[in-house]
Amino acid sequence: MRKIMTAAAALATMLAAGLWVASAPRPLDSAELDALQGDASRGAAIYLAAGCGSCHIGPARDSDPLVLSGGREFASDFGTFLAPNISTDPVHGIGGWTQAQFINAVMRGISPDGAHYYPAFPYTSYIRAETQDIADLFAYMQTLPADATPSQPHDLAFPFTLRRAVGLWKALYLREEWVVAGDLTEEETRGRYLAEGLAHCAECHSPRNALGALDHDRWLLGAPNPSGTGRIPAIAGPGFDWTAFDISAYLETGLTPDFDVVGGSMAAVVRSLQHLDKSELDAIAAYILRAAQ
């Protein structure tokens, strides 16, 4: 019996060690990232495409859309996530971060102290971005105002409080590959970069599996609203009959083909995207129609 217990303890130790290694953060090379030269003027467009303000503008800050004090609540099947302060405050925001730390946070979901961020932060989409674009975004965000509002902890129940377990989730689901592949036109390819990457459209418009990963087999086919009320509409598949003009115009004006007005969380998305060049909105529209095929 003693030998059996010893063997079982050794096996458990090996299993725990294996899980610890498998769940470790896997950052990009910091030296290479810090060597990038960010361009704040280009970063302004990346900021709009990525919709940073849509989540990180504080609930009391709508009249000041560049103060990224955080605090908005996002319901999910795993609990309620609260957007953190990502203003330039050096204590409560990201004012003390390096460029490499910022890029690893955005593209790999890793905090400056090496902890995993929850995938409520859409790094599962941002992983497809170009590191230069995220360096440009960082340069732009350094020009935004600081705010000393402390970030609030997420409201999660055990076992979802175990951040290290997110590393195992990443090993299963964090992928750089494009979802819509094949022979795309130049415009569709640009739209894919925006929609699957920076604008992270699928994070709301695609359903998820039991572990919260996006279902690539039902890409953009709509999803339950995490708030529990209503459903986020499909933007592909049977029944979606918008034209490229309809989609582009909606992203620019917030008006549907039936002249209804955008509402809910999509209103904040439109407020960002509508400032992009019309060609960028047309590219997103071209991609969505390709995804619908």
The parent domain of residue 241 ranges over 186-291
Q: What pLDDT sits at residue 85?
A: 96
233 lies in a domain? Answer: yes
Q: What pLDDT sits at residue 99?
A: 97
Residue 282: closest CA among 240, 246, 238: 246
Number of domains in the chain: 2
Instruction: Show the DSSP H helices in 142-184 as ranges.
Output: 164-173
How far from 242 is each of 7, 121, 231, 274, 276, CA to CA, in Å? 63, 29, 18, 18, 21
- What is the length of the chain? 293
Q: Residue 138 and residue 142: Cα distance in Å, rounded? A: 6
Phi, psi of 5 (to 5 degrees): -65, -40
Residue 86: closest CA among 40, 52, 116: 52
Sign of CA dihedral 239, 240, 246, 249: positive
Would you say 155 and 79 are in contact if contact means Cβ atoms under 8 Å apart? yes
Instruction: Please identify, among 134, 151, 173, the residue that sits at the C-terminal boundary of a domain.
Output: 173
- How does DSSP assign 33-90, residue by residue? HHTS---HHHHHHHHHHHTHHHHHS-TT-TTSTT------EEEETTEEEEPPP-SS-T
* Shared-domain flag, residues 158 and 236: no
Q: What pLDDT sits at residue 5?
A: 55
pLDDT in tens, 88-115: 999 999 999 999 999 999 999 999 999 9
Residue 133: closest CA among 193, 93, 73: 193
* Shared-domain flag, residues 30 and 139: yes
How far from 79 is each of 63, 154, 233, CA to CA, in Å? 28, 8, 23
pLDDT in tens, 234-244: 999 888 999 99
Residue with tokens 């458990």, as numbered in its chain: 12
Q: Residue 32 and residue 214: Cα distance in Å, rounded? A: 30
* Shared-domain flag, residues 80 and 164: yes
250 lies in a domain? Answer: yes
SS3 129: coil
Low-confidence ranges of the chain (pLDDT < 70): 1-21, 60-65, 228
Instruction: Please identify, among 151, 173, 195, the residue that sits at the C-terminal boundary of a domain.
Output: 173
> Per the structure block, which two tokens stand in for 139?
């340069």
17 lies in a domain? Answer: no
Q: Residue 2 and residue 77: Cα distance in Å, rounded? A: 44
210 lies in a domain? Answer: yes
Q: What pLDDT sits at residue 82?
A: 95
The gap from C-alpha 265 to its chain's centroid, in whole angstroms, comes to 15
* Shared-domain flag, residues 106 and 211: no
Whether the model clears a pTM of 0.85, i.e. scores above it, the answer is: yes
* Shared-domain flag, residues 86 and 204: no
Q: Residue 261 and residue 239: Cα distance in Å, rounded? A: 20
Q: For 232, which DSSP code? A: E
Q: What pLDDT sits at residue 81?
A: 95
Instruction: Please identify, among 147, 173, 199, the residue that sits at the C-terminal boundary of a domain.
Output: 173
Q: What pLDDT sits at residue 13?
A: 57
Q: Residue 42 and residue 36: Cα distance in Å, rounded? A: 14
> Per the structure block, which two tokens stand in for 207?
């359903």
